[in-house]
Structure 1
Amino acid sequence: MGICFSIDSDTKAPGYEPTTPTTKQDRSRSYSSSSPMNIKDLRQSPGHRNVDIFSYDELRLATKHFRPDLILGEGGFGVVYKGVIDEDVRPGYKTTQVAIKELNREGIQGDREWLAEVNYLGQFSHPNLVKLIGYCCEDEHRLLVYEYMASGSLEKHLFRRVGSMLTWSKRMKIALHAAKGLAFLHGAERPIIYRDFKTSNILLDADFNAKLSDFGLAKDGPMGDQTHVSTRVMGTYGYAAPEYVMTGHLTARSDVYGFGVVLLELLIGRRALDKSRPSRQHNLVEWARPLLSHNKKLLKILDPRMDGQYSAKTAIKVAHVANQCLSQNPKGRPLMSQVVEILENFQSKLENEEEQMLRVGSSSITLYEVPKDTIEAPATGKSQCENDRAYKSE
Structure 2
Amino acid sequence: MPSYAKRDQAELMAARSGGNKVDLMSALAQGNQAHWMLAHAERNKPSLTSALAEENKTHLMSAYADGCKYETSAQYVQIPNIRNVRTFTYAELVSATNNFNDKESSTYSLETIYKGWVDELTYAPTKSGVGLAVYVRTKHIEMSKLDLKAEEFNHPNLVRLLGYYLNEQEMSCVYELIPSLDKLFFGEQGKTSLSWVARLKIAVGAAQGLSFLHKKGRPAYNQLKTACIMVDADYNARLQEFEVDNSYLAPGSYPFEMDAHYAAPEWFHYQNSVILNSMGVRHHCEEGFGVKCEIYSFGVVLLELLTGMKVFDRNRPEGTQNLVKWATPLLTREVNLEIVLDKQIQVNNHPPKGAFMLARLVSYCLEPTQCKRPSMEYILQVLRQCYLEQFCIQVDSHVRT
Query: Could you state the TM-score of these two structures normalised by the residue count of structure 2?
Result: 0.66
Match of 2:165 in 1: 136
Q: Structure 1 residues 252 and 44 mapped into 2: Cα distance closer, same or farther (>3 Å)? A: closer
Q: Report whether the alignment pairs 1:269 with 2:298.
A: no
Separation in structure 2 between the aligned mates of residue 230 and residue 56 of structure 1, nearest angstrom: 29
Q: Structure 1 residues 346 and 111 mapped into 2: Cα distance closer, same or farther (>3 Å)? A: same
CA offset digits 1:375-394 (Å, max 9, x no partner)? xxxxxxxxxxxxxxxxxxxx
Aligned positions of 1:18-167 closer than 5 A = 40=73, 44-47=77-80, 49-50=82-83, 51-68=85-102, 71-74=103-106, 76-85=110-119, 89=124, 97-103=132-138, 113-119=143-149, 121-139=150-168, 141-149=170-178, 152-160=179-187, 161-162=189-190, 164-167=192-195
The answer as to whether partners of 1:56 and 1:136 remain within 8 angstroms in 2 is yes
The answer as to whether partners of 2:73 and 2:169 remain within 8 angstroms in 1 is no
Greater relative CO (CA pairs within 8 A, separation 6+): 1
Match of 1:246 in 2: 269
Aligned positions of 1:1-394 closer than 5 A = 40=73, 44-47=77-80, 49-50=82-83, 51-68=85-102, 71-74=103-106, 76-85=110-119, 89=124, 97-103=132-138, 113-119=143-149, 121-139=150-168, 141-149=170-178, 152-160=179-187, 161-162=189-190, 164-188=192-216, 190-215=217-242, 217=243, 219-220=245-246, 232=252, 234=254, 235-247=258-270, 249=287, 250-308=289-347, 311-312=351-352, 314-354=354-394
> What's the offset of the Cα at 1:340?
1.0
Match of 2:46 in 1: none
| Alignment RMSD (CA, Å) | 3.3
Greater share of residues in helix: 2
Separation in structure 2 between the aligned mates of residue 42 and residue 357 of structure 1, nearest angstrom: 62
* Equivalent position SS for 1:281: coil
Letter in structure 2 aligned against 1:52: R
Match of 2:51 in 1: none
> What's the offset of the Cα at 1:322?
0.7
* Equivalent position SS for 2:159: coil
Query: Could you state the TM-score of these two structures normalised by the residue count of structure 1?
Result: 0.67
> What's the offset of the Cα at 1:77?
0.8
Separation in structure 1 between the aligned mates of residue 134 and residue 223 of structure 2, nearest angstrom: 20
Letter in structure 1 aligned against 2:161: L
Question: Any stretches of 5+ residues in structure 1 without a counterpart?
Answer: 1-38, 222-228, 362-394
Q: Structure 1 residues 357 and 323 mapped into 2: Cα distance closer, same or farther (>3 Å)? A: farther
Letter in structure 2 aligned against 1:118: L
The answer as to whether partners of 2:86 and 2:123 remain within 8 angstroms in 1 is no
The answer as to whether partners of 2:261 and 2:312 remain within 8 angstroms in 1 is yes
Q: Structure 1 residues 138 and 292 mapped into 2: Cα distance closer, same or farther (>3 Å)? A: same
Match of 2:22 in 1: none
Match of 1:20 in 2: none
> What's the offset of the Cα at 1:279?
3.9
* Equivalent position SS for 2:354: helix
> What's the offset of the Cα at 1:46?
1.3
* Equivalent position SS for 1:280: coil
* Equivalent position SS for 2:382: helix
Separation in structure 2 between the aligned mates of residue 297 and residue 277 of structure 1, nearest angstrom: 19
Q: Structure 1 residues 322 and 80 mapped into 2: Cα distance closer, same or farther (>3 Å)? A: farther
The answer as to whether partners of 2:133 and 2:176 remain within 8 angstroms in 1 is yes
Separation in structure 1 between the aligned mates of residue 292 and residue 221 of structure 2, nearest angstrom: 11
Percent identity reads: 29
Separation in structure 2 between the aligned mates of residue 261 and residue 287 of structure 1, nearest angstrom: 12
> What's the offset of the Cα at 1:321?
0.6
The answer as to whether partners of 2:228 and 2:240 remain within 8 angstroms in 1 is yes
Match of 2:32 in 1: none
Q: Structure 1 residues 40 and 278 mapped into 2: Cα distance closer, same or farther (>3 Å)? A: farther
CA offset digits 1:103-137 (Å, max 9, x no partner)? 4x8xxxx6655443332x22210010001112223
**How many residues are aligned here?**
301
Match of 2:10 in 1: none
> What's the offset of the Cα at 1:278?
3.2
> What's the offset of the Cα at 1:44?
4.6
